């Protein structure tokens, strides 16, 4: 059974971490102002200001930041500054008993997909695949809906993803229900063969990616297919595949052809076009919350990922 973290309220303190790569400091500063305007105080993890090659500090430093934020009873939510690379290096060294005993909001996406998957499968905690601080919120042209996506942390209520937000395309007709799982395609593939391998049985699987040429997307979709992840899923939602275009000097298949080859044969209710992932707007979605999808009405309704103080 999913464990939902407590909702946020004005005056709460949130912790900022960088589990993967270091954020751009100017953009992070812009985003911190947004959090403060939302009525939140912030505590910043030490790794946010560190750099070790393409990593935000040594593995041990990023691990310590995560543990510290979960232990700190003043911290009500843990928000990732950015993605990049490096989360997969630390998931095997995290204390999941500590995380399970101190359930809190965890928010981020992209490389954070590995962290979401590991936490969900080891603890049952609902986490949030949503826009990050320096990567999204700190941008000058950040979409208003991207900022509004954070409101789901302050108020309970179902989240509706419909054609009002973006143009949706039905690839396989039908209805499906199940907990949401998934995230960045590249990171989901890297979980295969590990103890954190993404489990899609009876779940609504969503995938997205960025800056990957179609032949690479082809390879990764094929691997998920051969691992049975599409056949196991109750339904499939396809988010944004930003800048996943071929090299103009090469012949290429299209993304549509790849979905026809690898996803549609599973014959599970499937829709494409959700503004989830490296998109603008970038809409947050709780991982582990139950969703209902209806391809005829082209709707995806996801139950709230938070709980009130007095809920068991």
pLDDT tens by residue, the chain, 312 residues:
789 999 999 999 999 999 999 999 999 999 999 999 999 999 999 999 999 999 999 999 999 999 999 999 999 999 999 999 999 999 999 999 999 999 999 999 999 999 999 999 999 999 999 999 999 999 999 999 999 999 999 999 999 999 888 899 999 999 999 999 999 999 999 999 999 999 999 999 999 999 999 999 999 999 999 999 999 999 999 999 999 998 888 899 999 999 999 999 999 999 999 999 999 999 999 999 999 999 999 999 999 999 997 655
Taking the C-alpha atoms of residue 116 and residue 255, their distance in angstroms, rounded to an integer, is: 26
DSSP string, 117-152: HHHHHHH-B-EEE---IIIIITSTT--HHHHHGGGG
> In the sheet where 299-302 sits, what is the strand order?
159-162, 299-302, 290-294, 175-184, 204-210, 235-242, 270-272, 169-172
Identify the sign of the CA torsion 55, 247, 222, 124: positive
- Rounded CA-CA distance 123/111 in Å is 19
- CA–CA separation, 136 and 107 (whole Å): 13
- The length of the chain, given as a count of residues: 312
How far apart are the C-alpha atoms of 73 and 118, rounded to whole Å? 22
CATH 3.40.50.150 fits 159-302, yes or no: no
- Give, in degrees to the nearest 5, the angle at Cα 154 between 56 and 42: 35
Q: Is the dihedral of CA 126, 130, 135, 140 positive or negative?
A: negative
> Whole-angstrom Cα distance, residue 233 to residue 114?
18
**Cα angle 217-220-226, degrees, rounded to a multiple of 5:** 135
CA quadruple 182, 188, 193, 195: dihedral, nearest 10: -50
Q: Are strands 13-17 and 75-80 parallel, antiparallel or unpaired?
A: parallel
Burial class (CB in 10 A: 0-12, 13-18, 19+), 104: buried
Question: Where do the structural domains in the chain lie, given as residue ranges?
Answer: 13-142, 159-302
Residue 310: the pLDDT is 61
Report, as residue numbers or ranges, the catalytic residues. Answer: 110, 208, 278
| Crossing angle of helices 214-226 and 255-262, rounded to 10° | 10
For the chain, how are helix, strand and coil distributed in percent, rounded to 5? 35, 25, 40
Instruction: For residues 136 and 275, give the distance between their C-alpha atoms in angstroms, rounded to a whole number.
Output: 13
Give the pLDDT confidence score for residue 249 in this predicted structure: 84
Tell the CATH topology of 13-142: Rossmann fold (3.40.50)
Q: What's the CA gap between 40 and 117, in Å, rounded?
A: 27
Residue 167: closest CA among 241, 275, 276, 268: 275
């Amino acid at each position: 059974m999913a464990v939902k973290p407590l909702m946020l309220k004005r005056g709460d303190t949130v912790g900022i971490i960088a589990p993967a790569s270091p954020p751009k400091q100017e953009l992070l500063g812009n985003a911190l102002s947004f959090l403060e305007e939302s009525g939140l105080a912030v505590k910043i993890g030490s790794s946010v200001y560190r750099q070790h090659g393409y990593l935000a500090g040594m593995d041990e430093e990023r691990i310590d930041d995560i543990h510290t934020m979960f232990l700190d009873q003043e911290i009500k939510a843990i928000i990732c500054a950015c993605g990049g690379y490096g989360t997969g290096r630390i998931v095997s060294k995290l204390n999941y008993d500590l995380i399970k005993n101190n359930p809190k909001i965890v928010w981020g996406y992209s490389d954070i997909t590995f962290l979401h998957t590991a936490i969900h499968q080891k603890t049952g905690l609902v986490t949030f695949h949503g826009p990050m601080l320096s990567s999204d919120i700190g941008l000058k042209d950040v979409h208003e809906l991207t900022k509004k996506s954070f409101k789901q942390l302050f108020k309970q209520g179902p989240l509706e993803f419909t054609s009002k937000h973006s143009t949706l395309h039905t690839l396989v007709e039908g209805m499906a229900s199940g907990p949401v799982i998934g995230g960045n395609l590249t990171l989901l593939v890297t979980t295969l063969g590990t103890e954190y391998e993404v489990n899609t049985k009876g779940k609504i699987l969503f995938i997205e990616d960025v800056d990957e040429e179609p032949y690479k997307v082809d390879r990764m979709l094929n691997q998920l297919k051969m691992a049975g992840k599409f056949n196991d899923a109750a339904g499939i939602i396809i988010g944004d595949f930003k800048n996943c275009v071929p090299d103009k000097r090469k012949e290429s298949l299209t993304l549509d052809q790849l979905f026809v080859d690898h996803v549609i044969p599973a014959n599970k209710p499937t829709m494409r076009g959700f503004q989830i992932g490296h998109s603008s707007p970038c809409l947050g979605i709780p991982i582990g919350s139950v969703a209902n999808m209806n391809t005829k009405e082209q709707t995806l309704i996801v139950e709230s990922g938070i709980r009130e103080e007095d809920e068991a």
